[in-house]
Amino acid sequence: MEDTQRVLTWEEEEEHAKVDVWKYVFGFVEIAVVKCAIELGIAEAIESHGSPMTLLELSSALSCDPSHLYRVMRILVHLKIFKEITTNQLGSKGYAQTPLSHRLLKSGENSMAALILLESNPVMLAPWHGLSARIRGNISNQLFEEVHGEDIWSFGAANSDHSKLFNEAMTCDVKAAVPAVIKSCIEVFKGLETIVDVGGGNGTMLRLLVEGCPWIRGINFDLPHVVSAAQDCDRVENVGGDMFDHVPKADAVIIKCELVDCRGFFITGVTMTAFLSLKSAGKLFLRTRGR
Ligand SMILES: C[S@@+](CC[C@H](N)C(=O)[O-])C[C@H]1O[C@@H](n2cnc3c(N)ncnc32)[C@H](O)[C@@H]1O
């Protein structure tokens, strides 16, 4: 296929640059506004209203100043997170949900709200401010540890609210991933009686897995402070411990998402421990994010 894209002249690039640089001046606004939308519960208000809401209806439902809310809604509509649609023949406008705004709901299988709230939280943002120092090699610790004085897991153990937010955030991904895995490759779970999820957080992954594969018994293995706050669930046992020392025995081991940052080395050590914990002919499922 012919490449129809013309190479821009330096002068044209200059013109683009004058506009584009503002994205970096105010780049934080998008995430701040999305965080604000989640905290105010805008998606919940429109969802429970059951139809598009005018600015006055929305501001009254959320107990907000309409003029402030209007400015936030303008950005959210510009970002295509909510739609502004004509609701009657008089031309009144109302805000309506989109698939993206559904992801800002605090519950439901598509919810990504907890993950957005976690990553936009000052605790998680602070380490990013040290990125250049880390690249220059002026900091040898993990950035989280440099900023907070302890690694992310010890920080969670000492800060139960942060730990709760972290564990809820992790389930956002799980709720979408597990049904897809069960739907597309349930056969890999056939013949397994027990599965241990290493770093399984609050146990949501195993709960969904044993619901979809009722012949399986799960062991949710994570740090003691994490499993002590995990939900109780039939056929899932919560076990606390350190995966670098020991992983409970099972027919198969699941390791999902990066366990890279916990001790500064890749998961090889954990993988080895996990292998040792397998009964003969067991399986190891690894799932990491593509980065
Ligand atoms: C990135 S989270 C992934 C959670 C979950 N597997 C998922 O994908 O949603 C890593 C998990 O590993 C746990 N973890 C970290 N260090 C651990 C250790 N030494 N032993 C056991 N679990 C650990 C954390 O508490 C956390 O729940």
CB of 174 within 6 A of ligand 1: the answer is yes
Q: Domain boundary at 55, 71, 105, which? A: 105
Q: Domain boundary at 40, 74, 105, which? A: 105
- Best residue among 115, 119, 124, 153 to mutate for probing ligand 1's pocket (most ligand atoms within 8 Å of CB) is 153
Q: Atom 16 in ligand 1: which residue has the minimum CA distance?
A: 262
Q: Atom 9 in ligand 1: which residue has the minimum CA distance?
A: 170
Position 87 scores a pLDDT of: 86
Q: Are 279 and 253 in contact (CB under 8 A)?
A: no
Looking up residue 239, the CATH number of its domain turns out to be: 3.40.50.150
Position 278 scores a pLDDT of: 66
- Domain range for 28: 10-105
Position 263 scores a pLDDT of: 45
Domain-located, residue 72: yes
Looking up residue 85, the CATH number of its domain turns out to be: 1.10.10.10
191 CB contacts (<8 Å, ≥6 apart)? Answer: 251
Q: Are 234 and 125 in contact (CB under 8 A)?
A: no
Per the DSSP assignment, residues forming a β-bridge with 81 are none
Position 262 scores a pLDDT of: 47
Position 8 scores a pLDDT of: 96
Does 98 share its domain with 186?
A: no
Q: Are 194 and 219 in contact (CB under 8 A)?
A: yes
Letter string b/e over residues 175-195, b meaning 16 or more CB atoms within 10 A of that residue's CB? beebeebbeeeeeebeebebb
CB of 201 within 6 A of ligand 1: the answer is yes
Q: Domain boundary at 67, 85, 105, which? A: 105
- For the chain, the domain total comes to 2
Q: Over the chain (291 residues), what is each successive 10-residue block's mean pLDDT? A: 82 97 96 98 98 97 98 98 91 95 95 97 96 90 93 96 96 89 92 93 95 96 96 95 90 76 49 60 60 36
Mean per-residue pLDDT over the chain, rounded: 90
Domain-located, residue 144: no
Q: Are 167 and 201 in contact (CB under 8 A)?
A: yes
CB of 57 within 6 A of ligand 1: the answer is no
For residues 94 and 84, give the distance between their C-alpha atoms in angstroms, rounded to a whole number: 6
Backbone angles phi, psi at 279, to 5 degrees: -70, 170
Position 30 scores a pLDDT of: 97
Q: Are 225 and 153 in contact (CB under 8 A)?
A: no
Instruction: Please state the pTM of the whole predicted model.
Output: 0.88
Cβ atoms within 10 Å of 90's Cβ, excluding its own: 6
Q: Atom 11 in ligand 1: which residue has the minimum CA distance?
A: 199
Tell me how many degrees the CA angle 218-272-184 measures, rounded to the nearest 5: 45
